[in-house]
Structure 1
Amino acid sequence: MGGGAAGFFGAIACAEANPAARVLLVEKTGKLLSKVRVSGGGRCNVTHACFSAAQLVQHYPRGGKKLKEPFQQFGAQDTVRWFARRGVELKTEADGRMFPTTDSSETIAQALLEAARQAGVQVLLNTNAEQLTPLPGGGFAVRLTGLHAQTLTAQRLLIATGGVPKTEGYDWLRQLGHTIAAPVPSLFTFNVPESPLKELMGVSVPLARVVIVGEKLDYEGPLLITHWGVSGPAVLKLSAWGARRLHELNYTGTALVNWIPAHNEETLRQWLHAFRDENGKKVVLVNPLFGLPQRLWRALVEQAGIGADTRWSELAGKLQNRLLELLLRMPLAVRGKTTFKEEFVTCGGVVLGEVNLKTMESRLHPGLHFAGEVLDIDGITGGFNFQAAWTTGYLAGQAMSKPLA
């Protein structure tokens, strides 16, 4: 149940492994693979060039080491091969993200649709699973409503309904006895309504460090200044690792930005001392340092209170200290969050202790399997959430191709 990445991968894996099986894919809306189509700005970040399971698990705030064995069974390299066998070549970008060489998510969507068609998967659109009842002799009765209203019986079921933002959306799984980790948003940007950088919308730096004051939350990466605050991988990945704590804080606090994370206070003072000795005649405002964008450098210098014509040799120690503080610890008052484009990710879902991660099968109900974001698994940005969907979907589908014991 669920016509997204995990649901399709599971259905295809099951149908290919057991051509005699009748495989139905049920989708409550009229659209298939919606998230695949919008991912990566319409390019679809299929996976990440991280081919070691031990390294891959380090990119999952929820799931972590428990995913090592599943990734050993079906990892990023297996994803690359799966699509290659279906005529889709992937390319690796400098940051490790992998996209189809066509730079079009439609390439991925069509590959999945065609694989499902060839495997004989039957797709029911505009159809919702309203009730799921385990049967005494094994298997399930599923009451469908909508376009294909009926009651079906099935030996095995795959739940791949995606992440649900509200906890009551999991009530039907709780009724089956499963424990649900409360859903909260992950992968979001920071709103800074009183940002001193508002006029710099669109300016980015390739490496900055963001720290949440009073919390053990920090991350390094590219940073983008937006009209609502700050975004970019440094913020998105920090939001993923801190999803639960930031939710508890109501997305309010102070973020400190280090624009030059290669330096700490001691090394920066030494560097500036040496620079001043050799470049005393240079005007501070118009000579950006550390490769920082001109507009950002000017904003930092002006906020430090340094005059437009001040030369380094004339710079008072007090003003240099202010500049140093802004370079290493610029405070931004975070007051809320914004979803990153259309790529909403939820942390939370079915707790992994109640699932056999070799088969994605429920430990409470034989024949009931889970895949994708319905599980308490989520990764940072960069193709990791799709990889979790491919892996869990594939393992579930393989297991579902076999009859119940």
Structure 2
Amino acid sequence: MQSYNIIIIGGGAAGFFSAINIVEKNPKLKVAILERGKECLTKVKISGGGRCNVTHACFVPNELVKFYPRGERELKGPFSQFCSGDTIEWFEKRGVELKIEEDGRMFPVTDSSQTIIDCFEKEVKRLGIKVFTSQSVQSLFFNKDEQWKIETQHDVFLADKIVVATGSNPKIWELLHEMGHEIVSPVPSLFTFNISDKRIKDLMGLSAHASVQVKNSTRGKAERSGAKLKASGPLLITHWGLSGPGILRLSAWGARELFDKKYCFVLQVNWLDEVSFDEAIEQLKEIKEENNKKLIGKFCPFSFPKRLWENIVVASEISLNSKWADINKKQINALANQLTNAEFQVNGKSTFKEEFVTAGGIDLKEINFKTMQSKVLPNVYFAGEVVNIDAITGGFNFQNAWTSGFIVAENI
């Protein structure tokens, strides 16, 4: 039996960040990390295509929270304590410089997630934090000496306090539920849509900026005002359907609703983004007048790929060899409809690369967000995605890990 002041359950981003900050603030504390896998920080390694999207260049807490479908209200206070700018400073102090890309995502200048892993491993070694791998927690028990007894398949550990940073681990959720915590049932978030449609067939790899929405849908708390479940951003056509930031945002905001629909629904795509059907009609009339001698199939007047334009024209029942001067009112209406309100039947989803994110976890009402401490269990803290908080892509899920880990350390 091994005894520690603090044991962190989970050797991922939130677990390591919590441990490092705890010992930096109080070097006298004896701290250990328990990881169920053979390796730690595996999700850090694969994130951002192996580059690690550390955070996002959004530095105002009230703006940053808008990227979190679950946790928006609760994170305002925590982000006021530790935000994206603090993350940048934290890593720079440890020799890791970050860079901002055009879309606001931030990566190490090395473009390698190994830089972040090396930083964490170096800090853990420097601070004397013990890391135990292949230690899957089997039971948790708060004993008469007011210590936590943690049994793994190999060992027994004692701790004065525990930090749960296990992400979407069903076994840990089950243990916490047995001890009184409410668990919001997990559903997938951040996934792509499976669509079989001749309009996007053989266009793999092409992308266009568009807005998307789920037909006959209203979004969660916005339901009373009738706000649609919609998003905008680059759409990427894949061999299985549609992906890209616009689709991933929609999947995050609609995680529960789309789960309830069993991922079968009608997706409305506006290839002109915010341009309405009526505005498209007017634009097409002007284009017809100014380019009447040009072939409609040869002249794409919008900023998306020519091959996609050709498929949209054909779907509007217009010959690619027609001149703009020859298309009639009915065809203009059909073309405007395909451009601004194209309907695609979605049948299923695909996980976005290996970056699986789950909506669900510890009910937010049972956490004190000033300390990240459990309101139900004594001397228990939470960090990262083990709680019912998740974000869209772009470094936001990692920022939640850093912020919650920092607050845990401050209060321990």
1:235 and 2:247 are equivalent in the alignment: yes
1:362 and 2:374 are equivalent in the alignment: yes
| CA distance in structure 1 between the partners assigned to 2:276 and 2:253 by the alignment | 24
| CA distance in structure 2 between the partners assigned to 1:136 and 1:180 by the alignment | 26
Name the TM-score, length of structure 1 as normaliser: 0.95
What is the match of residue 71 of structure 2? Answer: 63
1:270 and 2:282 are equivalent in the alignment: yes
CA apart distance, 1:135: 2.0
What is the match of residue 358 of structure 2? Answer: 346
CA apart distance, 1:7: 0.5
What is the match of residue 201 of structure 2? Answer: 198
Match of 2:99 among 88, 91, 94: 91
What is the match of residue 235 of structure 2? Answer: 223
CA apart distance, 1:169: 5.8
Match of 2:55 among 47, 52, 60: 47
Match of 2:212 among 190, 200, 210: 210
What is the match of residue 160 of structure 2? Answer: 155
Q: Which amino acid aligns with 1:208?
A: A
Counterpart secondary structure, 2:121: helix
Is the 1:219–1:237 contact (alpha carbons within 8 Å) kept by the matching residues of 2?
Answer: yes
What is the match of residue 289 of structure 1? Answer: 301
1:303 and 2:278 are equivalent in the alignment: no
Is the 1:195–1:229 contact (alpha carbons within 8 Å) kept by the matching residues of 2?
Answer: no
| CA distance in structure 1 between the partners assigned to 2:315 and 2:333 by the alignment | 12
CA apart distance, 1:303: 1.5
Residue correspondence of structure 1 range 59-208 to structure 2 within 5 A: 59-145=67-153, 149-164=154-169, 170-194=173-197, 196-205=199-208, 207-208=209-210
Greater CA drift, 308-317 or 83-92: 308-317
Q: Which amino acid aligns with 1:212?
A: V
- Cα pair distance change 1:2/1:76, threshold 3 Å: same
| CA distance in structure 2 between the partners assigned to 1:365 and 1:307 by the alignment | 68
Q: Deviations over 1:57-98 (max 9, x none)?
A: 111001011101101111111100010000001001111100
Q: Which amino acid aligns with 2:180?
A: G
| CA distance in structure 2 between the partners assigned to 1:360 and 1:139 by the alignment | 19
Q: Deviations over 1:103-156 (max 9, x none)?
A: 1111111111111111111000111221110123422111122xxx22221110
| CA distance in structure 2 between the partners assigned to 1:250 and 1:314 by the alignment | 44
Counterpart secondary structure, 1:338: strand
What is the match of residue 403 of structure 1? Answer: none
What is the match of residue 247 of structure 1? Answer: 259
Is the 1:346–1:378 contact (alpha carbons within 8 Å) kept by the matching residues of 2?
Answer: yes
| CA distance in structure 2 between the partners assigned to 1:82 and 1:292 by the alignment | 41
Q: Which amino acid aligns with 1:203?
A: L
Match of 1:4 among 12, 15, 18: 12
CA apart distance, 1:398: 2.6
| CA distance in structure 2 between the partners assigned to 1:360 and 1:169 by the alignment | 17
CA apart distance, 1:366: 2.2
| CA distance in structure 1 between the partners assigned to 2:320 and 2:255 by the alignment | 42
| CA distance in structure 1 between the partners assigned to 2:270 and 2:194 by the alignment | 18
| CA distance in structure 2 between the partners assigned to 1:211 and 1:353 by the alignment | 30
- Cα pair distance change 1:266/1:69, threshold 3 Å: same
Q: Which amino acid aligns with 1:181?
A: V
CA apart distance, 1:373: 0.8
Is the 2:199–2:308 contact (alpha carbons within 8 Å) kept by the matching residues of 1?
Answer: no
Q: Which amino acid aligns with 2:250?
A: L
User: May I ask how many residue pairs the two structures share in their alignment?
Assistant: 394
Is the 2:148–2:160 contact (alpha carbons within 8 Å) kept by the matching residues of 1?
Answer: yes
| CA distance in structure 2 between the partners assigned to 1:366 and 1:81 by the alignment | 33
| CA distance in structure 1 between the partners assigned to 2:213 and 2:345 by the alignment | 12
Counterpart secondary structure, 1:66: coil
Counterpart secondary structure, 1:127: coil
CA apart distance, 1:195: 5.1
The answer for unaligned runs of 5 or more in structure 1 is: 401-405
What is the match of residue 371 of structure 1? Answer: 383
Q: Which amino acid aligns with 1:184?
A: V
Name the TM-score, length of structure 2 as normaliser: 0.94
Is the 1:355–1:361 contact (alpha carbons within 8 Å) kept by the matching residues of 2?
Answer: yes
| CA distance in structure 1 between the partners assigned to 2:406 and 2:323 by the alignment | 63
Is the 1:195–1:333 contact (alpha carbons within 8 Å) kept by the matching residues of 2?
Answer: no
CA apart distance, 1:200: 0.4
What is the match of residue 4 of structure 2? Answer: none
The answer for unaligned runs of 5 or more in structure 2 is: 1-8, 218-227
| CA distance in structure 2 between the partners assigned to 1:320 and 1:119 by the alignment | 68
Residue correspondence of structure 1 range 21-32 to structure 2 within 5 A: 21-32=29-40
Q: Which amino acid aligns with 2:201?
A: K
Is the 2:277–2:341 contact (alpha carbons within 8 Å) kept by the matching residues of 1?
Answer: no
Q: Deviations over 1:257-279 (max 9, x none)?
A: 10002311121111111221121
